[in-house]
Structures are given as structure tokens and as C-alpha cells.
Amino acid sequence: MNESMTKSTHSRIEDFLATLRTALNGAGGRPDDIVEEVRADLIDLIDRHRSQGASDEEAVSRALQSMGDPHELAHHVRREVPPFGGLVASTIRYALAGVVIIWTLLFLWNFRALSYGAAGLATTIGVALFHLPVVLLLWPRMVWRKNWLFGLIPAGIAFVVALFLAGGGVTGTGHDPLDSQISHSLSSAMSSGVAGPEQVPLDSPPAIVEPEGPSLPAILAFGAAVLASGVLLVAMQQVRQRRWVIVAALIPILLVEIPFQIEESFFRREVEKARAHPENGGNLNWGRPLYPSAFLYLSADGRIRVQD
């Protein structure tokens, strides 16, 4: 602060800045930055008025008048500064988003290995669609609009509802939702005990137990909730950030779905070979190279199953 200023003018400036700081109410985690920026400009403005012949009191009065009411200024600033955008909050949000991305990919990898073909693609899309909103919410400066409707609270409620419905829809029946999975341990069925990408004849093929999937209303409720929360969050996004939705959606496709699709194309070749030689029994048991504990199983009646 200018040394020539009187105590009262200095005090008026500090009062203004203190009121502003309080009214900013955390504003995106950077109220100190904002107050310091205002302080620097305020002093310039005061100096300018003084250089034009105003007294200290007049210069401060005119400068403060130009700044307006600190509460109103804080109100307008808060509308423009996204919440939780400070350095510490942003770092935590980046870290959490990274954890969610890694966890989603690992979860998806394990889940995808237990499905096949179109069901596998549906699994990838389902898991990605469900986790994408979480990443969007966590990533700083990605989702935010100043309309109250697009605040964090409605988004959080939408997400919790989706989570609740997802939990009820997927686990409500107590069964794995994958209809391609056989609830039978391969190891107990295989007499040879050999597992690998090569054909392994089975002395006694595993019994096929059709798992009971989630009910249709549960699936519809889950789909609707995920879609609604996804649409809400995309609508909340900064327009220029929307391309990252496409990038985020492509990551699981590129890192999980495509490798499994390539792997399955190799399995289909083995299936063709097995079908060309029905005299060998027509069975095929093929360990997944990408997930050694899962097997793709071609039964004699031509059905393809995945088993763990």
C-alpha cells in the first residue's frame, strides 16, 4: 500500500477487500488470488485519480465506487468461477478422476473377459457409459454451468439415483447378469487340466446352467437413469470441453474392447476348424490369452459360452 496514504484511506481499502474476501465465500478455491488481483488494480486506480489531482480521500472514494459493492462483485465473480477449482481441490480431483479411470478399465477388463461378441460390446458400452459421468464430474473445469439446474447438487442426486438403480437392477436377482456365463467351474469339468489357447477336448463338458438375469424393468430403469444422468452432465459441460466426452468414451473401446474383439477373431478361426472336424467331438475349449482364467467354450450343439 502507498506509504503516503492516511490510515483512514488505507483502512477503507482493507475493509473493502475484507468484505470482498468474505463475500467470495471460497469462490472456486481461489479467493486470495481474486482479492490480490483486485487490490493491485485498486491501487493503480487510486494512483491514477491522485495523479489527476484528487486528494487521497477522493481518489479512494472514486476507486471504490468504480469497483462497486463488494457483495455484488463477489456475487458476479462466484457465478463465473467454477467451484472446487483451486490448486489443492483441482489436484485432488485430477487424482480421483485418474483413480476412477484406472479402476474402471481394470473392472471393465475383468468384466469383459466373462462375455463374448455382442454381449461383450454391450458390457463395454454399459460400463463406460456408467463411469463416464463420474469422470466428467471429477475432472476440473469440465462440467459446470452457472444455471442452478446444472449445479453439483442436482448432478449428485442424478448420479446417486443412477447408482441406486444400477445396484438394484444388476444385483437384485442375486445372479451375474451375463447370460453367456456358465456357473460351473471349468477345472472340475476338465479331465486333462490343460488350459490354453489350443483346443482342449473335454471328457465331460461342463453342465450349462442358464443364469437368471436382471428383470426387464430393472434393466430399463438402470438404462434410463444412466442415460438421464449422462445427458444432464453433458448438458452441463462447458461447450468447448464436449470433445473430451468422445475421447473418454473411446478409451475403453480402444484399450479393452478392441483387444478382446481381436482375440475373439482368433477364437472364431478355431471354431471354424473345430466345426470342420466334427469327428473330434465338435467341442472346443479355448483359454483366453488376454484373461487366462477365463475360457471360451464351443459346445457340440454349436453354442459358444464363456466360463471362469
Partner 1 sequence: MSRVSTSRFSTELVRSCTDLVVLALLRNRPMYGYEILVNLADRGNGEFEFQQGTLYPLLYRLEREGWIAGSWETPTTGKRRKIYSLTAEGQKAERARSKEWTRFTRAVESILEECNHE
Return residues touching partner 1 (CB under 8 A).
Answer: 33-34, 36-38, 40-45, 48, 63, 66-69, 72-73, 76-77, 79-82, 141, 144, 238, 240
**Could you tell me the smallest distance in angstroms from the CB atom of residue 242 to partner 1?**
12
If the CB atoms of residues 58 and 69 are measured against partner 1, the closer one turns out to be 69
Dihedral sign of CA atoms 121, 127, 133, 134 in order: negative
Question: Which three-class secondary structure state does DSSP give residue 57?
Answer: helix
If the CB atoms of residues 37 and 198 are measured against partner 1, the closer one turns out to be 37
If the CB atoms of residues 114 and 248 are measured against partner 1, the closer one turns out to be 248
**Could you tell me the smallest distance in angstroms from the CB atom of residue 80 to partner 1?**
4
Burial degree of 278 (CB within 10 A; 0-12, 13-18, 19+): exposed
If the CB atoms of residues 229 and 237 are measured against partner 1, the closer one turns out to be 237
* CB contact set of 306 (below 8 Å; sequence gap of 6+): 113, 114, 115, 116, 178, 180, 181, 182, 294, 295, 296, 297
Nearest to 148 by CA among 83, 89, 242, 85: 83
**Could you tell me the smallest distance in angstroms from the CB atom of residue 276 to partner 1?**
58
If the CB atoms of residues 38 and 135 are measured against partner 1, the closer one turns out to be 38
**Could you tell me the smallest distance in angstroms from the CB atom of residue 14 to partner 1?**
17
Q: Could you tell me where the beta strands, DSSP code E, fall in the chain?
A: 181-182, 284-288, 291-298, 304-307
**Could you tell me the smallest distance in angstroms from the CB atom of residue 36 to partner 1?**
8
If the CB atoms of residues 80 and 279 are measured against partner 1, the closer one turns out to be 80
If the CB atoms of residues 67 and 284 are measured against partner 1, the closer one turns out to be 67
**Could you tell me the smallest distance in angstroms from the CB atom of residue 43 to partner 1?**
7
**Could you tell me the smallest distance in angstroms from the CB atom of residue 66 to partner 1?**
4
Q: Which residue has the cell 468384466?
A: 111
Integer distance in angstroms from the first to the last C-alpha of the chain? 72
Contact yes or no for 173/214 (Cβ under 8 A):
yes
**Which DSSP string do the residues of 157-223 spell out, in sequence order?**
HHHHHHHHHHHHHHHTTSS-S-TTEESS-HHHH-SS---SSS----SSPPPP-------HHHHHHHH
Q: CB count, 10 Å around CB of 299?
A: 17
Gap between the Cα atoms of 1 and 12, Å rounded: 12
> What is the DSSP code (8-state) at residue 84?
T
If the CB atoms of residues 33 and 58 are measured against partner 1, the closer one turns out to be 33
**Could you tell me the smallest distance in angstroms from the CB atom of residue 26 to partner 1?**
14
